[in-house]
């Protein structure tokens, strides 16, 4: 796909954007117009204004790179966690450092990749949490009910990472905030991830994962 896109641009006199290479440098993490600065502005009046963790997904890797650079530039104690969906190569790459690795690819739209993307910078990510597909879909459902609005599956993936980190902080007696993004609206997924029949056919029974998550939230 990448080679064909590049070749097509050359043949037609176009420009190959190559977002998976340049996403990590598309915005200036030191400026006042990037997503990290906006997140910290919104947190300014919260009880724990500087979050213990920020949890994001990775598609290009640009978001985790921007946030990771920003918290280091501002000398915040915040750590960055990438919630990585089943089938993605990023977790294995983070462990091994082998940029030649490939994987099956994610079935959670928008995040996870079959190849290591140049914009994913593992040194800016403090933690990876691998999330099975059934847990992403279950978390999407649970969070949609909690918020009173439908969210998409990659937001569910992030939520699983947040709950896991919250459990660890509670067990350690730590207080603090955990910040993430509502990265996809759920309405576009009404015929797919929000359809019980489609989910059963493509992912199986997400009921047990949903029950586990409900129990974790109740505890």
Does the predicted model carry a pTM greater than 0.85? yes
pLDDT, averaged per 10 consecutive residues of the chain (219 residues), comes to 86 83 70 84 94 96 93 96 98 97 94 94 97 97 96 97 97 97 92 96 95 92
- What domains can be seen in the chain, in order of their start residue? 16-218 (3.40.50.1100)
Taking alpha carbons only, the member of 80, 50, 84 closest to residue 68 is 80
Q: Rounded to an integer, what is the distance from CA 176 to the centroid of its chain?
A: 20
Q: Exposed, middle or buried: residue 74 (CB in 10 Å: 0-12, 13-18, 19+)? A: middle
Q: How far apart are CA 102 and CA 114, in angstroms?
A: 5
Parallel, antiparallel, or unpaired: how do β-strands 127-131 and 53-56 relate? unpaired
The pLDDT score that the predictor gives to residue 29 is 66
Query: What are the Cα distances from residue 210, in Å, to 1, 117, 131, 187, 217?
Result: 36, 31, 13, 20, 11
C-beta of residue 199 within 8 angstroms of C-beta of residue 206: yes
């Amino acid at each position: 796909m990448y080679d064909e896109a590049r070749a097509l641009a050359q043949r037609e006199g176009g420009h190959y954007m190559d977002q998976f290479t340049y996403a990590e440098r598309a915005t200036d993490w030191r400026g006042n117009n990037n997503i990290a600065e906006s997140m910290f502005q919104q947190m300014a009046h919260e009880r724990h204004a500087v979050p213990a963790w920020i949890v994001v997904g990775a598609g290009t890797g640009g978001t985790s790179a921007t946030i990771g650079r920003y918290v280091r530039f501002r000398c915040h104690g915040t750590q960055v966690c990438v919630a990585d969906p089943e089938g993605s190569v990023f977790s294995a790459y983070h462990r091994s450092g082998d940029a030649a690795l490939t994987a099956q690819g994610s079935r959670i739209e928008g995040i996870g990749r079959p190849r290591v993307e140049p914009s994913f910078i593992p040194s800016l990510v403090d933690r990876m949490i691998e999330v099975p597909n059934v847990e992403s879909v279950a978390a999407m459902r649970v969070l949609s009910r909690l918020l009173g609005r439908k969210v998409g599956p990659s937001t569910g993936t992030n939520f699983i990472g947040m709950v896991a980190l919250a459990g660890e902080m509670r067990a350690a007696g730590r207080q603090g905030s955990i910040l993430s993004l509502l990265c996809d609206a759920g309405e576009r997924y009404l015929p797919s991830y929000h359809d019980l029949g489609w989910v059963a056919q493509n992912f199986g029974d997400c009921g047990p994962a949903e029950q586990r998550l409900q129990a974790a939230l109740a505890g």
